[in-house]
C-alpha cells in the first residue's frame, strides 16, 4: 500500500503546482453556455492537454461536433486494470451581481481558491490528476485515464458522439466521477444513484385571441382552468403523490440499508430549509426528506402561462394556455414510459390538450455494495479520516448515463465539493483542505484498484 509519509510529503510539495494550475484554469472563462466564449473553450482544452503532458501523460483533444473532449492518461500494462476519471472543464456563467470579485480573476486567500469553476469542476479535476501522478510514481499497477468534458454545463449534447471514438477514448474497466457535492463539511458523501428527468409542455388553444369575460364568459372555454384541472389530476399538491395511473409501477424503493446510509450523510432539515429559503416543507422527517429528494419520483408544475399577469385583475378569457411540468424519475423508471403514461392520461381526461416532451434523462443506479464500493470507502477514509456515506442525488448528470450505456462498467463517484463552495452560485471557491485530502483519497483509490487487479 501507499506510504503515508511519502504521500504527505508529495501533497505538501505539490501545493504550489496545484495552485498555479488551478489559477490559470480559473482565469480561462470556459462558459460553454455562451457562444461568445468559443475561443476560450479551445484555449481551455489546449491548457488541459498541456497540463496532462507536463505530468507525463499522453493527451489529446478529441473533436465531437461541439466543444471537444480532452482525453489522456498513462498506460502501465495491458494486464493492469484501467480506470477513467471523469471531470469537466466548462463552467457556469457568472453574471450574478453578488460576486465580490471578478469571477474569472483567480484569488488565493488563506487556503481558499476563489473564482468561477474552482470547485465545479476544475479544482476536483486537478486533485484527482495529482493523486493519479502519485499512485503511478509509487508503481501502482494500473492504467489511469483522464476524461475532461467541455459541455457538461449544457447537458453534454456531444458527449455520446465523442465516446464513439474508441481509439482516443478507450473503454475502461471502471469509472470514477468527481463532480458532486457533499451534504455537510467533514462528512464525505458519495452518490451512487441519480434521478432521471422528463419535461413536458401541455398546451391548450381554445380561441385565436383573449376575449372579454363580461361578453363571452360562461360560454367560452377557459384553457388555464382546464390546464389547472389537469395539474390537479396528475399530482396531489399537498402530499406530492403522483396520480398518473401506472406511474409508480417500475419504481425500486430504497432499502433499509440505503436509508440508513443516507442518515450518515450529515443531512439536517434546518440547514436544508435555510439553504433553499423554505419556510415550510411537506415533511419534517430527515429520512423521509432524503428519500423524497433522492430516491422517489416527482411531478412538478413549473409554470402556467397565458391570460393576464399585469397589476390588478383584467377580466379576460384567455384564448390559449401552456402548463410547464416535469417528472423526476428513479431507477427502473424511464422517461419514455413516464411521458407515454402522462400523454395517455391527459389524452383521456382532455383530448384537446397537446402534450409535448422536453428534455429526457435516464435515471442512474450505481453500486451500493461490493469491492468497488469498499475501495471507495477505504480510500475516502484514508483521505478524509471518515468513511463516506453512500447517498443518492436528486439531479441528473447526463454524461454518467452516457458512459454507462457506452461502456457498461462500474461507475463510482468521488466528489470533493462542499455545499458552502457555491456550486453554480456567486463567489464560488475551492479549498486546500478538500484539495489535499482529495489527492490523498484518489491516490489511495488507485492503489485499491491496483490491488483488486483486472476483473
Ligand atoms: Zn460540475
Instruction: Tell me the CA–centroid distance for residue 426 and ligand 1, in Å.
Output: 15
Distance 197 CA to ligand 1 centre (A): 18
- The alpha carbon of 423 and the centre of ligand 1 are apart by a number of angstroms equal to 8
Q: Kindly give the distance from the C-alpha atom of residue 148 to the centroid of ligand 1, in angstroms, as a whole number.
A: 11
Ligand 1 mean position to 152 CA, how many Å? Answer: 7
How far separated are the first and last CA of the chain, in Å rounded? 19
Residues 163-191: b if buried by 16+ CB within 10 A, e if exposed? beeeeebeebbbbbbbbbbbbbeebbbbb
- Helix (H) / strand (E) element for 202: namely strand 196-205
Distance (angstroms) between ligand 1 centre and the Cα of 154 equals: 10
- Ligand 1 centre to CA of 117 (Å) is 8
Sole residue written with cell 381526461:
349
- Spacing, Cα 453 to ligand 1 middle (Å): 30
Cα distances (Å, whole numbers) of residue 256 to 183, 259, 263, 297, 386:
20, 5, 11, 18, 22
Compute the distance from residue 324 Cα to the ligand 1 centre, in Å.
Answer: 26
Predicted TM-score (pTM) above 0.85: yes
Given the C-alpha cell 464525505, which residue does it identify? 188
Distance 90 CA to ligand 1 centre (A): 8
Distance of CA 77 from the midpoint of ligand 1 (Å) = 31
Ligand 1 mean position to 153 CA, how many Å?
A: 7
- 371-384 vs 432-452: helix crossing angle, rounded to 10: 140
Distance 74 CA to ligand 1 centre (A): 24
Print the SS3 string covering 268-335. Answer: CHHHHHHHHCCCCCCCCCHHHHHHHHHHCCEEEEEEEECCCCCCCCCCEECCEEEEEEEEEECCCCCH
Instruction: Output the CA 345–ligand 1 centroid distance in Å.
Output: 36
- CA dihedral for 292, 294, 297, 302, sign (positive or negative): positive
Q: Quick one: cell of 139?
A: 508503481
362: exposed, middle or buried (C-beta count within 10 Å: 0-12, 13-18, 19+)? buried
Q: What is the pLDDT along the chain (455 residues), one digit of tens a residue?
A: 789 999 999 999 999 999 999 999 999 999 999 999 999 999 999 999 999 999 999 999 999 999 999 999 999 999 999 999 999 999 999 999 999 999 999 999 999 999 999 999 999 999 999 999 999 999 999 999 999 999 999 999 999 999 999 999 999 999 999 999 999 999 999 999 999 999 999 999 999 999 999 999 999 999 999 999 999 999 999 999 999 999 999 999 999 999 999 999 999 999 999 988 999 999 999 999 999 999 999 999 999 999 999 999 999 999 999 999 999 999 999 999 999 999 999 999 999 999 999 989 999 999 999 999 999 999 999 999 999 999 999 998 899 999 999 999 999 999 999 999 998 999 999 999 999 999 999 999 999 999 999 98
For residue 227, report the distance from its CA to the centre of ligand 1, in Å.
35
Amino acid at each position: 500500500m501507499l506510504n503515508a509519509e511519502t504521500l504527505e510529503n508529495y501533497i505538501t510539495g505539490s501545493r504550489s503546482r496545484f495552485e498555479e494550475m488551478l489559477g490559470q484554469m480559473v482565469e480561462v472563462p470556459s462558459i460553454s453556455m455562451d457562444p461568445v466564449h468559443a475561443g476560450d473553450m479551445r484555449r481551455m482544452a489546449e491548457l488541459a492537454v498541456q497540463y496532462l503532458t507536463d505530468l507525463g501523460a499522453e493527451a489529446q483533444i478529441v473533436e465531437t461536433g461541439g466543444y471537444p473532449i480532452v482525453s489522456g492518461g498513462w498506460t502501465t500494462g495491458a494486464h493492469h486494470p484501467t480506470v477513467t476519471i471523469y471531470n469537466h472543464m466548462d463552467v457556469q456563467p457568472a453574471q450574478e451581481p453578488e460576486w465580490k470579485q471578478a469571477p474569472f480573476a483567480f484569488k488565493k486567500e488563506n487556503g481558499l481558491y476563489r473564482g468561477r469553476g474552482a470547485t465545479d469542476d476544475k479544482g476536483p479535476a486537478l486533485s484527482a490528476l495529482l493523486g493519479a501522478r502519485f499512485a503511478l510514481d509509487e508503481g501502482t499497477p494500473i492504467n489511469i485515464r483522464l476524461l475532461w468534458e467541455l459541455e457538461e454545463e449544457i447537458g453534454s449534447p456531444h458527449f455520446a458522439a465523442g465516446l464513439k471514438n474508441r481509439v482516443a477514448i478507450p473503454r475502461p474497466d471502471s469509472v470514477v466521477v468527481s463532480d458532486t457535492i457533499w451534504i455537510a463539511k467533514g462528512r464525505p458523501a458519495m452518490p451512487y444513484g441519480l434521478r432521471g428527468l422528463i419535461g413536458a409542455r401541455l398546451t391548450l388553444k381554445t380561441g385565436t385571441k383573449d376575449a372579454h369575460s363580461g361578453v363571452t364568459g360562461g360560454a367560452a372555454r377557459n384553457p388555464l382552468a382546464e390546464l389547472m384541472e389537469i395539474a390537479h389530476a396528475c399530482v396531489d399538491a399537498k402530499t406530492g403523490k403522483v396520480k398518473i395511473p401506472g406511474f409508480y409501477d417500475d419504481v425500486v424503493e430504497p432499502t433499509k440499508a440505503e436509508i440508513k446510509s443516507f442518515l450518515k450523510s450529515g443531512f439536517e432539515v434546518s440547514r436544508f430549509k435555510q439553504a433553499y429559503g423554505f419556510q415550510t416543507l411537506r415533511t419534517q422527517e430527515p429520512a423521509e426528506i432524503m428519500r423524497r429528494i433522492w430516491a422517489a419520483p416527482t411531478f412538478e408544475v413549473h409554470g402556467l402561462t397565458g391570460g393576464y399577469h399585469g397589476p390588478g385583475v383584467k377580466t379576460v378569457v384567455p384564448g390559449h394556455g401552456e402548463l410547464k411540468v416535469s417528472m423526476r424519475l428513479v431507477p427502473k423508471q424511464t422517461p419514455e414510459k413516464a411521458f407515454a403514461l402522462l400523454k395517455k392520461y391527459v389524452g383521456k381526461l382532455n383530448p384537446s390538450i397537446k402534450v409535448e416532451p422536453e428534455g429526457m434523462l435516464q435515471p442512474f443506479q450505481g453500486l451500493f455494495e461490493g469491492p468497488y464500493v469498499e475501495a471507495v470507502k477505504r480510500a475516502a477514509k484514508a483521505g478524509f479520516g471518515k468513511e463516506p456515506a453512500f447517498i443518492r442525488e436528486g439531479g441528473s448528470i447526463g454524461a454518467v448515463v452516457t458512459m454507462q450505456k457506452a461502456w457498461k462498467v462500474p461507475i463510482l463517484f468521488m466528489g470533493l465539493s462542499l455545499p458552502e463552495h457555491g456550486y453554480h452560485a456567486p463567489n464560488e471557491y475551492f479549498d486546500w483542505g478538500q484539495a489535499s485530502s482529495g489527492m490523498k483519497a484518489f491516490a489511495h483509490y488507485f492503489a485499491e484498484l491496483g490491488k483488486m487487479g483486472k476483473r
